[in-house]
């Protein structure tokens, strides 16, 4: 009713640009009368026609109404007071909160949208949502087993949908074990050479193996150095120093490739070219053009070195035992830098034992004749399961989301070696 707005304080904007503020005295179909006019109005009352009004704002409702139920209404120019009189009164806009009690516990979404008020209690209504019932329906649709008790709570690492049957694991025993409990069979050097030949005959190139192995060794070296704490633009200290010992064998090729990758990451690389590996003359020339220090001996190495990449422990080098081998062992024995050995292949008899490394990188498949390895890591060089199968080697890929994984010797292997 229009009488509910009599006594309200309103602000009226006229089509001539002026604004008049006053209290509503009466409302007729085409006019509105104001009293208690604000400002310098000389009249006690003022009658305004609907065609003179551009906007009308209600500043305050009559004092007989609850201030919390106050509504601000704007009258447009094309809206007459008679239209506004047909709108519901403020008392009619009050939501009926008692209607919420009509619904049962399972009817959380049965409330009509038209009856939802601005103070809808989402927190209490969310408790009515039966999450466990919905999850059980999903499990039944996907053919999974439902949870037997509603008291089970999921851990952050637990799957909501439980698998009906676990994936079967490997059924063979190994000499090594990954952190994911995947066994790895240790190979003799002759067996692994046959495995590599089988993979190369199937299409795997030897240059690809060397390139992937060198990149993986460089990634491991960066992590040992401290990762982004040492190798980043935020490091304002001197760059770390890495010494790469290169022989003419396969380990020397991997060491040269690793040195080239490390030099592109802001690391001060010192290459000790004890013997030039076959086919690596181009890599050595690139290292020289990149202003990497390439030495022919150990005399030019600095006193402070962060990591040593040892590429001198391949089988051909240790069997031939060149003259510089004793000097290398003497130097690594007195050095305090940790050693990363690249795929060591120790024969049964040697004049001296090389310096035990802190980390050892094994390529593709672990060897049984690697001597003291320290922390052993396995590098994915692209050996595929078919090559293992054709050589009758039990195998299941242990890498999953990684390319370098740690290996642990099994208890059986430690007992046999002791």
* Tens digits of residue pLDDT in 158-173: 665 555 555 666 777 7
User: Beta strands of 220-297 (E only): which ranges?
Assistant: 241-246, 268-273, 293-295
Strands 339-342 and 74-75, how do they pair?
unpaired
Instruction: List, for residues 122-179, the tens digit of each pLDDT value.
Output: 777 777 777 777 777 777 776 665 555 545 566 666 665 555 555 666 777 788 999 8
φ, ψ (nearest 5 deg) of residue 114 = -70, -25
- Judged on CB neighbours under 10 Å (0-12, 13-18, 19+), 304 is exposed
Rounded Cα–Cα distance for residues 347 and 315 (Å): 7
Nearest to 244 by CA among 305, 154, 156, 180: 305
Euclidean distance between the first and final Cα of the chain, in Å?
101
pTM summary value: 0.59
**Which of these ranges, 23-27, 153-157, 165-169, 180-184, has the smallest mean pLDDT?**
165-169
What is the strand order of the sheet 45-49 is part of?
45-49, 31-35, 19-27, 9-14, 53-60, 74-75
Angle at which helices 250-263 and 206-225 pack, to 10 degrees? Answer: 50
**Which of these ranges, 181-195, 233-247, 289-303, 382-396, has the smallest mean pLDDT?**
289-303
Q: Which helix (H) or strand (E) holds 75?
A: strand 74-75
Residues 6+ apart with CB under 8 A from 396: 170, 182, 385
DSSP annotation of 91 reads G
The confidence score (pLDDT) of residue 80 equals 47
Does residue 259 contact residue 290 with C-beta atoms inside 8 Å? no
- Judged on CB neighbours under 10 Å (0-12, 13-18, 19+), 185 is middle
The confidence score (pLDDT) of residue 58 equals 82
- Going by pLDDT thresholds of 50, 70 and 90, the confidence category of residue 93 is very low
| Tokens read off for 203 | 């299409």
CA distances from 36 to 20, 44, 301 (A): 11, 7, 98
**Percent of the chain at pLDDT above 70?**
75
Strands 293-295 and 241-246, how do they pair?
unpaired
Q: Is the pLDDT of residue 87 over 60?
A: no
Does residue 258 contact residue 221 with C-beta atoms inside 8 Å? yes
């Amino acid at each position: 009713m229009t009488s509910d707005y009599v006594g309200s304080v309103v602000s009226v904007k006229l089509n001539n640009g002026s604004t008049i503020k006053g209290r509503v005295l009466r409302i007729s179909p085409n006019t509105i009368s104001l009293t208690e006019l604000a400002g310098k109005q000389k009249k006690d009352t003022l009658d305004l026609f609907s065609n003179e009004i551009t906007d009308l704002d209600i500043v305050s409702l009559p004092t007989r109404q609850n201030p919390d139920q106050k509504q601000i209404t704007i009258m447009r120019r094309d809206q007459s007071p008679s239209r506004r009189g047909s709108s519901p009164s403020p008392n009619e806009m009050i939501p009926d909160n008692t209607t919420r009690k009509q619904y049962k516990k399972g009817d959380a979404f049965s409330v009509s949208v038209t009856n939802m008020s601005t103070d809808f209690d989402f927190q209490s209504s969310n408790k009515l949502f039966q999450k466990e019932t919905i999850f059980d329906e999903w499990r039944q649709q996907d053919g999974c087993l439902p949870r037997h008790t509603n008291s089970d709570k999921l851990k952050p690492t637990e799957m909501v949908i439980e698998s009906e049957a676990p994936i079967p694991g490997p059924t063979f025993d190994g000499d090594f074990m990954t952190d994911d409990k995947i066994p790895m069979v240790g190979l003799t050097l002759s067996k692994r050479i046959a495995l590599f030949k089988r993979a190369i005959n199937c299409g795997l190139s030897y240059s690809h193996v060397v390139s992937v192995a060198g990149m993986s060794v460089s990634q491991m070296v960066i992590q040992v150095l401290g990762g982004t704490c040492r190798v980043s633009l935020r490091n304002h200290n001197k760059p770390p120093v890495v010494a790469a010992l290169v022989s003419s064998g396969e380990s020397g090729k991997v060491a040269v490739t690793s040195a080239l990758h490390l030099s592109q990451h802001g690391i001060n690389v010192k290459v000790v070219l004890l013997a030039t590996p076959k086919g690596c003359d181009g890599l050595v020339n690139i290292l020289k053009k990149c202003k990497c220090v390439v030495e022919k001996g150990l005399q030019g190495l600095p006193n402070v070195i962060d990591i040593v990449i040892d590429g001198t422990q391949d089988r051909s080098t240790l069997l031939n035992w060149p003259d510089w081998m004793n000097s290398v062992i003497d130097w690594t024995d007195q050095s305090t830098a940790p050693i990363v050995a690249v795929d060591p292949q120790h024969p049964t008899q040697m004049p001296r034992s090389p310096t035990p490394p802190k980390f050892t990188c094994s390529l593709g498949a672990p060897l049984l004749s690697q001597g003291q390895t320290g922390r052993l890591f396995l590098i994915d060089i692209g050996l595929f399961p078919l090559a293992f199968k054709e050589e009758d080697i039990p195998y299941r890929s242990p890498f999953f989301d990684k390319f370098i994984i740690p290996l642990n010797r099994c208890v059986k292997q430690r007992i046999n070696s002791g």
